[in-house]
Structure 1
Amino acid sequence: MSSRSITIEKVNAAPTCAEHRIDRGQGSIYARDYAGNGPTFVLMHGFPDNMHIYDHLIPYLVAGGRRVVAFDFLGFGNSDKQAGASYSFAQQLGDLHAVVEHLGLGKIVPVAHDASGPAGVNYAIDYPEHVDSLCLLNCAYGTAATKRTPEIIALFAHSDLQSLTQELLRSPEQFQWVLDFQMRKFTENLEDGQKQHLSGFLRSLIEDNIKKQPSSIPAFVQMTSQLFEEVARNTKRITQMEALDIPVKLIWGENDAYLNTGVAKDFQLHLKHASLHILPAGHWLQIDSPEQVAAIMLGQA
């Protein structure tokens, strides 16, 4: 890191923020707004987690002087989960735009992780006037030769297995077993310290998301059921992604067996101005290596 890099002593573990509720018709989005200079980093989560995957990263970004907005997509975290609500990748793209418009953010840096990759890339394509640059963290968009689908996602994504997954959801113990299996698969290549921290912090976050009522399970089930169709749609938009004339930072945890470094390199092949940064971290690199991720995002590494 350069001499301008952030030191731990400068970081407030819990920076203050303004809280917002943003109406989306079928409920409201919960967002946290941390004061600073622009362009604003707008942090997006995947599934089945929520905005708290950025709790370790945000203090470093704020200490670096940048404005940061984190929000929960409808159906997740502290955003509304109305009975009968419809969730989709198009809805998540709309959630992002609603946050930008409501808070008057102007040009932003969308920061996408996991399943929010489509929202980040498609926002840059559809709303170029609002995007300064793009930051992608272990996420997906279209097809990529080395990409693997996590077992729990594949299970719920296959429509012909719906009777099985519905039965699974009726048994909290069996669903918990599947979650535990998936967590072990995600963490098996991590260092012991990273594994212990992630297993505790992330496990609690995901279990709260699922078990706390109203639950995020309806959003999770609907989103996963649309995954393969979304990948196909985005693959058809690759030429539009290739036309993006903005800087893109690809920040990748090398120990992700699913959205692996091959996926990052595939992104790089299709982007005009992409820089690739590979870290000794897993899928949730913003939890494993927050200081290093922040330094790259802030241009200090």
Structure 2
Amino acid sequence: MHGFPDDSRIYDRLIPLVAPRRVVTLDFSGFGRSDRGPYAALQPGQREAELKAVLTALGIDRCVLVGHDASGAVAVNFTLDHAESVDRLVLLNCYYGDAPSLQFPELIRLLGDPDFTPLADALMDDPKMREWILAHTQKRFGYAVGDPDGVVAASVAPQWFGEDTRPDALVAIRAWTAALFPDLEIQNRRIADGELNTLTVPVTVAFGEDDPYLNPEVARHIAHHFPNATLHLIKNASHWPQWEQPEETARLILGNES
């Protein structure tokens, strides 16, 4: 699964490396190749329901569930509620609840804070400002602006500007980021209630170690919540290890952790 600003293409470099196993990547509603829905708000549990609908439609009873960025929280919630359907949970550069070292990109904090909605509206309505703030965020993650072979060009930029006949995903981005802080509170409650501590599903936490926001300390914080978790920091990778280090990420997804 993908997160806020991208789509299922973040896994394009990884998919061939896990053949011949069946791999399913999905575009959440409003992103990538999915329909652009009319909703302006994300309902609690909506992404988890979309995941459940995909698994049901494809007849998948059990899976290795991989969540990245904002979908890491979706993956955790789904596993807590449907542990019988998950053989193993893999979390890539994501978050779940508050953590002392957790930092969200400035762009995401801007879009998620209701006090800054008028400013966010003005920025998002101006394509030049949208281009500038995306380039700023790209540089902060350590990626070269304008790289035609990079993950931003392949998967992120189309969500912000559209492509071919497919419109942008700004409505979906704004809806999901607006739910960021309310969702964090729900996650904090599930942690406080001890739900993560009782999960017996094996958990692999694998983070690109150069991510300045969802950083190695966040990875350690997440891993310590689970009784059956292993932690792996992927060298020479920032926020999208499945793109930058697909071989190593595929190895960990397949459970080859030694």
Aligning the two structures, in what range does the TM-score lie when normalised by the shorter sequence?
over 0.9
Task: Check 1:84–1:125 CA distance in 2 against 1; reply closer, same or farther (3 A cut).
Answer: closer
Question: Aligned equivalents of 1:100 and 1:202: distance in 2?
Answer: 26
**1 or 2, which has the higher strand percentage?**
1
**Matching residue within 211, 219, 222 for 2:161:** 211
Partner of 1:30: none
Q: Distance in 2 between matches of 1:84 and 1:142?
A: 25
Q: Where does structure 2 lack aligned partners over 5 or more consecutive residues?
A: none
Secondary structure of the 1:67 match is coil
Structure having the higher Rg: 1
Identify which range, 198-207 or 101-110, moves more after superposition: 198-207
Partner of 2:17: 60
Counterpart in 2 of 1:48?
5
Q: How many pairs does the alignment contain?
A: 250
Could you state the TM-score of these two structures normalised by the residue count of structure 2?
0.92
In the TM superposition, residue 74 of structure 1 has moved relative to its aligned partner by 0.4
Q: Paired residue for 2:131?
A: 176
- How far the C-alpha of 1:110 sits from its partner, in A, is 1.1
Which residue does the alignment assign to 2:105?
150
User: Residue type of the partner of 1:52?
Assistant: R
Deviation string for 1:120-141 (max 9, x for gaps)?
0011111112111100001111
What is the CA distance between 1:279 and its match in structure 2? 0.9
Q: In structure 2, give the amino acid aligned to 1:114.
A: D
Determine if the alignment matches structure 1 residue 271 to structure 2 residue 202.
no
Counterpart residue identity of residue 242, structure 1:
N
Cα deviation for residue 203 of structure 1 reads 2.4
Worse-superposed segment, 51-60 or 162-171: 162-171
Match of 1:293 among 226, 246, 249: 249
Cα pair 1:45 1:72 within 8 Å, conserved: yes
In structure 2, C-alpha distance between the alignment counterparts of 1:277 and 1:147, rounded to whole Å = 18
The C-alpha deviation readout for 1:155-179, integer Å capped at 9, x for no partner, is 1111011111111122100111000
The 1:252–1:160 alpha-carbon spacing in structure 2 relative to 1, beyond 3 Å, is same
Report the CA distance between 1:86 and its aligned residue. Answer: 4.2
CA contact (8 A) 2:41 2:176 kept: no
Counterparts of 1:198 and 1:274, CA distance in 2:
35
1:218–1:197 distance in 2 versus 1, CA, 3 Å: closer
Residues in 2 aligned to 1:88 and 1:202: alpha-carbon distance in whole angstroms:
28
Q: Is the 8 A contact 2:83 2:201 kept in 1?
A: no
Structure-1 separation of matches of 2:104 and 2:141? 12
3-state DSSP class of the match of 1:98? helix
Structure 1 residue 109 corresponds to structure 2 residue 59: no
Instruction: Give the match for residue 175 of structure 2.
Output: 222
Q: How far apart, CA to CA, are the structure 1 residues paired with 2:66 and 2:147? A: 20
Query: Residue 172 of structure 2 aligns to a residue in which SS?
Result: helix
The one-letter code of the counterpart of 1:255 is D
- 1:75–1:87 Cα contact (<8 Å) kept: no
Tell me the residue number matched to 1:236: 189
Aligned residues of 1:156 and 1:162 also touching (Cα < 8 A): yes
Whether contact under 8 Å (1:88, 1:223) holds in the other structure is no
What secondary structure sits across from 1:47 in the alignment? coil
State the partner residue of 1:201. 150
Q: Flag the structure with more relative contact order, 1 or 2, with Cα contacts below 8 A and sequence separation at least 6.
A: 2
The amino acid that maps onto 2:150 is F
